[in-house]
C-alpha cells in the first residue's frame, strides 16, 4: 500500500502533524459542525463529537494495513494467513487506497476551498513528485538488495521471483521503463498506483466541488469499461501490464474521496437505511467463509474446493465487483461500529499502530525492504515455522520502532501524547 495523502498545506493558520506521514497539515480535521453519528461510510467518518476532533481510525487502520502489507509480501509466510486477506475478499491494499483517497480529499479539499483550484493542484502535484522520488529511491535500494543476494548466495531465481530480471538483463532499456513507472518489480507496484491516482486528483477535486456525481459517474464508467473490456496500462517487459490497474482502482479512490470531501466541508454524514448494516455484515461473513475455504483448499487440500471462486472474480488487478463491495462493506462497518476514539486504538498497543499510520510513507518504504530481507532469509535458511515467526516479529518490531523514531523526531524530540480513553459509558 504507499500512501498518506497529507501535503504541506502552506498559508494555513494552524498546523499539526498529518496522519499520513508526519508532515504538516491543518490542525483540525474538519470545519464547522457535523451532526452525525458514525454513519459516514469511511474509516474517518464523523463521530458524535463533531468534525473538529482527531479521527484515530485513519491512523490506526493505516498502521495496521502497513503491518499486513509487510507480512503479505513475504511468500509462503504462514503468519500472513492471519491477515485480512485470509478473512475477506479484499485485503490491506484496498484499505490503504481507501484511506488514502479519503485523506486526500480531507486535506486538499480544504486547500481547494481556502486557496482555489490552482494552489490546491500545486499542493497535490508537489506531493505526487515526492512520492515519485520516493519510488525511485525505493527501486534503487530494492535493486541493491537483490543484487547482493545474487552475488553472495548464488541464487539466480531470486531476481526472476522478484520481477527484476529485466532490469538486470537490459539495464539501459529498463531504467527508462522504471522512470515511466512501467517496470514494477514485486512489492513495488503500490506506489506507482498511488502516484497515478494522485496525479489526476486535482480534476477529481474540481469535480467534487461542483457536484459529487461529476466525479463519481465518470469514475464508475471508467471502472465498468475495465470490467468489460479488460483495459489496462502497458507495463514492462512488453507482455506485462500494471499489477494494480489504475483505471479500475481509481473508482475506490474516488468513492473514498467523495466522503472525505464531505467531511472537509463540514457537511452532515450520509444517512444510510437501517438494512444496510446487516447486509454489509452478511456480505463480509459470506466472503470470509469463501476466502477461508479457498485458503484451506489451497494449503491443506481440504474438501472445500466447491466454494472457491474463479480467479477473475477476485483478481486484484482490475478490482472486480466482489473486491470493491467487500472493501466498502468493511469501511461501512468500521464507520458504524468503531468510535473514532475507541479504547483499543488509544491503548498502549493500539497507539503504536496509530504512530505508524501517522508516518505511513516512511514506514511503508521500510516494510518493503524488510519484506525482501525476510524473503531472502527464509529462502536461504529454510522456511521453518519458528524462523517465519521470528522474521515476522522482528519486522513488526522494526516497523513500530521506526514509526516511534519518526514521531519523536517530528515532535521535536517528544512523542505525541496518547489521549486518555473516554469515560466508560460516555459518548462514542
**pLDDT tens track for 46-67:** 334 444 577 899 999 999 999 9
**Segment 15-28, tens digit of pLDDT:** 333 333 433 333 33
pTM of the model: 0.86
pLDDT at 252: 99
Span 94-109, mean pLDDT?
A: 97
Joined grid coordinates for residue 350:
493500539
Q: For cell 499486513, what's the residue?
A: 68
| pLDDT given for residue 52 in this prediction | 52
Q: Does residue 428 lie in a domain region? A: no
Q: What pLDDT was estimated at residue 48?
A: 40
Classify residue 159: in a domain, yes or no.
Answer: yes
Q: Is the pLDDT of residue 261 over 80?
A: yes
Q: Categorize the per-residue pLDDT at 117 as very low, low, confident or very high, splitting at 50, 70 and 90.
A: very high
Tell me, yes or no, whether 208 lies in a domain: yes
Q: What integer pLDDT is reported at residue 6 of this predicted model?
A: 43
Q: What percent of the chain has pLDDT over 90?
A: 68
Helix axes 212-229, 246-264, angle to 10 degrees: 160
pLDDT-derived band at 268, boundaries 50, 70, 90: confident
pLDDT given at position 196? 98
Cβ–Cβ < 8 Å for 393, 77: no
Spatial distance between the Cα atoms of 294 and 425, rounded to a whole number of angstroms: 41
The 8-class DSSP code of residue 24 comes to E
Q: Which residue has the higher pLDDT, 386 or 164?
A: 386
- Core vs surface per residue 384-417: b (16+ CB within 10 A) or e: eeeebeebbeebbebbbebbbebbeebeeeeebe
pLDDT: which is higher, 35 or 261: 261
% of the chain at pLDDT higher than 70: 86
Poorest-pLDDT segment among 31-35, 220-224, 266-270, 371-375 = 31-35
Q: Which residue from 338, 358, 346 is spatially nearest to 407, judged by alpha carbons?
A: 358
Number of domains making up the chain: 1
**Residue 5 counted as domain residue:** no
| Across 45-54, 156-165, 270-279, least confident range | 45-54
User: Residue 164 is inside which H or E element, if any?
Assistant: none
Instruction: Please tell me the distance from the alpha carbon of residue 195 to that of residue 100, in angstroms, as a whole number.
Output: 11
The answer to whether residue 2 is domain-embedded is no
Name the burial class of residue 52, with classes exposed (0-12), middle (13-18) and buried (19+) by CB atoms within 10 angstroms of its CB: middle
In a domain, 76, yes or no: yes
Residue 108 contacts residue 205 (beta carbons within 8 Å) = yes
In a domain, 417, yes or no: no
Q: Which three cell numbers stand for residue 354?
A: 496509530
Q: Looking at the domain assignment, is residue 31 inside a domain? A: yes
- pLDDT per position as a tens digit, 289-325: 999 998 888 887 777 778 889 989 999 999 999 999 9
* Residue 223 domain boundaries: 15-410
Amino acid at each position: 500500500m504507499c500512501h498518506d495523502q497529507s501535503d504541506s498545506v502552506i498559508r494555513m493558520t494552524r498546523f499539526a502533524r498529518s496522519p499520513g506521514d508526519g508532515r504538516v497539515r491543518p490542525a483540525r480535521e474538519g470545519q464547522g459542525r457535523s451532526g452525525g453519528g458514525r454513519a459516514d461510510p469511511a474509516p474517518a467518518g464523523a463521530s458524535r463529537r463533531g468534525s473538529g476532533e482527531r479521527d484515530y481510525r485513519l491512523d490506526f487502520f493505516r498502521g495496521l494495513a502497513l503491518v499486513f502489507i509487510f507480512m503479505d509480501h513475504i511468500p509462503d509466510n504462514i503468519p500472513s494467513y492471519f491477515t485480512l486477506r485470509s478473512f475477506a475478499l479484499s485485503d490491506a491494499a484496498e484499505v490503504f487506497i481507501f484511506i488514502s483517497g479519503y485523506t486526500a480529499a480531507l486535506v486538499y479539499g480544504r486547500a481547494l476551498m481556502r486557496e482555489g483550484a490552482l494552489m490546491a493542484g500545486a499542493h497535490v502535484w508537489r506531493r505526487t513528485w515526492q512520492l515519485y522520488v520516493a519510488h525511485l529511491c525505493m527501486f534503487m535500494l530494492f535493486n541493491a538488495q537483490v543484487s547482493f543476494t545474487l552475488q553472495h548466495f548464488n541464487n539466480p531465481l531470486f531476481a526472476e521471483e522478484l520481477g527484476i530480471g529485466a532490469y538486470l538483463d537490459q539495464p539501459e532499456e529498463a531504467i527508462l521503463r522504471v522512470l515511466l513507472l512501467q517496470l514494477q518489480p514485486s512489492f513495488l507496484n503500490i506506489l506507482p498506483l498511488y502516484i497515478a491516482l494522485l496525479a489526476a486528483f486535482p480534476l477529481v477535486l474540481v469535480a467534487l466541488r461542483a457536484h459529487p456525481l461529476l466525479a463519481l459517474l465518470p469514475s464508475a464508467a471508467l471502472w465498468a469499461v475495465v470490467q468489460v473490456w479488460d483495459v489496462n496500462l502497458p507495463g514492462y517487459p512488453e507482455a506485462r501490464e500494471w499489477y494494480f490497474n489504475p483505471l479500475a482502482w481509481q473508482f475506490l479512490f474516488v468513492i473514498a474521496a467523495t466522503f472525505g470531501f464531505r467531511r472537509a466541508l463540514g457537511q452532515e454524514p450520509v444517512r444510510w437505511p437501517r438494512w444496510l448494516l446487516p447486509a454489509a455484515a452478511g456480505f463480509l461473513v459470506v466472503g470470509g467463509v469463501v476466502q477461508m475455504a479457498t485458503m484451506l483448499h489451497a494449503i491443506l487440500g481440504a474438501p472445500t474446493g466447491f466454494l472457491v471462486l474463479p480467479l477473475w472474480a477476485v483478481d486484484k488487478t482490475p478490482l472486480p465487483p466482489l473486491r470493491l463491495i467487500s472493501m466498502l462493506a468493511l469501511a461501512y462497518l468500521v464507520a458504524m461500529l468503531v468510535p473514532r476514539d475507541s479504547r483499543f486504538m488509544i491503548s498502549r498497543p493500539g497507539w503504536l499502530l496509530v504512530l505508524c499510520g501517522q508516518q505511513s510513507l516512511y514506514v511503508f518504504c521500510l516494510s518493503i525492504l524488510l519484506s525482501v530481507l525476510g524473503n531472502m532469509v527464509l529462502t536461504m535458511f529454510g522456511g521453518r515455522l519458528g524462523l517465519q515467526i521470528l522474521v515476522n516479529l522482528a519486522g513488526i518490531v522494526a516497523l513500530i520502532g521506526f514509526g516511534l523514531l519518526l514521531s519523536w523526531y517530528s515532535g521535536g524530540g517528544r512523542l505525541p501524547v496518547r489521549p486518555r480513553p473516554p469515560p466508560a459509558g460516555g459518548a462514542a
